[in-house]
Amino acid sequence: MNAPHNPAQAKVDQVKLLIDGQWVESKTTEWRDIVNPATQQVLARVPFATVEEVDAAVAAAQRAFASWRDTPIGARMRIMLKLQALIREHSKRIAQTLSAEQGKTIADAEGDIFRGLEVVEHAASIGTLQMGEFAENVAGGVDTYTLRQPIGVCAGITPFNFPAMIPLWMFPMAIVCGNTFVLKPSEQDPLSTVMLVELALQAGVPAGVLNVVHGGKQVVDAICTHKDIKAISFVGSTEVGTHVYNLASQHGKRVQSMMGAKNHAVVLPDANRTQTVNALVGAAFGAAGQRCMATSVAVLVGKAREWLPDIKAAASQLKVNAGCEPGTDVGPVVSKRAKERVLGLIESGIREGATLELDGREVSVPGYEQGNFVGPTLFSGVTTEMQVYTQEIFGPVLVTLEVDTLDEAIALVNRNPFGNGTGLFTQSGAAARKFQSEIDVGQVGINIPIPVPVPYFSFTGSRGSKLGDLGPYGKQVVQFYTQTKTVTARWFDDDSVNDGVNTTISLR
């Protein structure tokens, strides 16, 4: 909950805004505590920036664009090369902060950073990604070619669950294309994001090219409606993502909005049993289920329904503890409010008639009794009308459904409104080919539980999980952050023949 600044907490660090290359203290009266979810310790306080401060950040980005857009591609690439080296050098330090503010295990925090780092590395190849096309002699002495040019000031709004990876999906690709950027990190865990921005400045990103503002809905709306912002990238909940897409689109902006999910894993009885069970448990309960690509539904086909005891046994062996503790498999969820929501949905599953195979509601962690812990929770006997199926739980809860055939499983997945990711576990090439062809989901894994593409490709969620036709990173994001200019040119020698006046639209 937001609260006015309390002088008694003056010793707690206050997160600053980055405007025009300077870290400045906000003049706001509205602040939020950044809380360690395992201990409830207040790590720092983050300001909810004023509209005037958002305007100042955008104005700085607008001024910087005039020169940054003309900075040679090679110079921009070298900044990305320096940034990726700095991230590697400081990744363990950033991971410690990320774990403390978000709750992830150290290993998962390092993975969060690494998946973002991959995009920074790909940004260093912008020289080939931003190339246009050329066709010689499309008519007599006429050539046509295209230029991919930056569009101006862009903005990014990021979620709490990946405070390193998602910002690194956004600002490096935007600025390496020649744009300037205003970043709004999650107000729940901005500290590790700020550390990455500090490294970007150290790598040589000029003043005003990258700016940071903090806040909630007022700041989001100010970004969505600002006349000088050309494009907005959003990752987060469906409710907020739909609002961002609609509001920003109404104000003439390009928008990519990656939103909620209900990811299914379809298990055929011919799959490798041990590997499949391990994959399901890791994808369902890793990061306490707080991944938009988490596997939250297992569809057991035919005799694969007999594997339920194996799934339960593997899940029950996971160690719940603070993320900083060695050997932790499942850390806390991000906040008390998040825990209450997860517990409420578990209660709804029991009330609606599902069978609670594994109950994580009463887990207690010695030394961390105040933590927001929910243990691995497993339901069977779930139907598609139950809230534990229809709602994105965003906690360590896996529900199982049973069908008789692969065709039934495909139909079940396709009826779900979300289309972020899905997986099939099988040893049949024919079944895999049928599945990837007929499934109506943007990202498909074959014996892969979390099919997030590498940066050479693009993140391709679909249907209720995505608004906008271009995804973050990869080739698609270069299209998103640039505009195509087509040039048709003819040059004449001084002694060239005069063809006379042409009153048609044809070239000759």
User: What is the 3 state secondary structure string of 288-314?
Assistant: HHCCCCCEEEEEEEHHHHHHHHHHHHH
pLDDT score at 9: 43
* Confidence check: pLDDT of 365 > 50: yes
pLDDT at position 5 over 60: no
Q: How confident is the model at residue 3 (pLDDT cuts 50, 70, 90)?
A: very low
Q: Under CATH, which number does the domain 17-259+474-486 receive? A: 3.40.605.10
Task: Tell me: pLDDT of 8 over 50.
Answer: no
177 a catalytic residue: no
Dump pLDDT digits (tens) for 329-340. 999 999 999 999
What token pair was written down for 51? Answer: 């509209």
Confidence (pLDDT) at 495 = 65
pLDDT band at residue 508, thresholds of 50, 70 and 90?
low
| 380-399 mean pLDDT | 97
Inter-residue contact 376 to 315 (CB < 8 Å) = yes
pLDDT tens-digit map of 164-181? 999 999 999 999 999 999
CA gap 488, 454 in Å, rounded: 36
pLDDT at 499: 67
- CATH number for the domain whose boundaries are 263-446: 3.40.309.10
Residue 501: what pLDDT?
A: 73
Cβ atoms of 102 and 160 within 8 Å: the answer is yes
Q: What are phi and psi of 377, to 5 degrees?
A: -130, 135
Average pLDDT value for residue range 262-278: 97
Q: What is the pLDDT of residue 1?
A: 36
- 263 vs 505, more confident: 263
CA 206 to chain centre: 25
Average pLDDT over the chain, rounded to an integer: 94
- C-beta of residue 462 within 8 angstroms of C-beta of residue 158: no
Domains 17-259+474-486 and 263-446 in one fold: no
Contact predicate 96/106, CB 8 Å = yes
pLDDT above 90: percentage of residues in the chain: 89
Q: How is the chain split into domains, by residue range?
A: 17-259+474-486, 263-446
From the candidates 154, 224, 292, 324, which is the catalytic residue?
292
Question: In the prediction, which pLDDT does 326 show?
Answer: 95
pLDDT value, residue 456: 86
Strands 17-19 and 22-24: antiparallel
The stretch 219-242 carries a mean pLDDT of 97
301: phi then psi, degrees, rounded to nearest 5: -100, 130
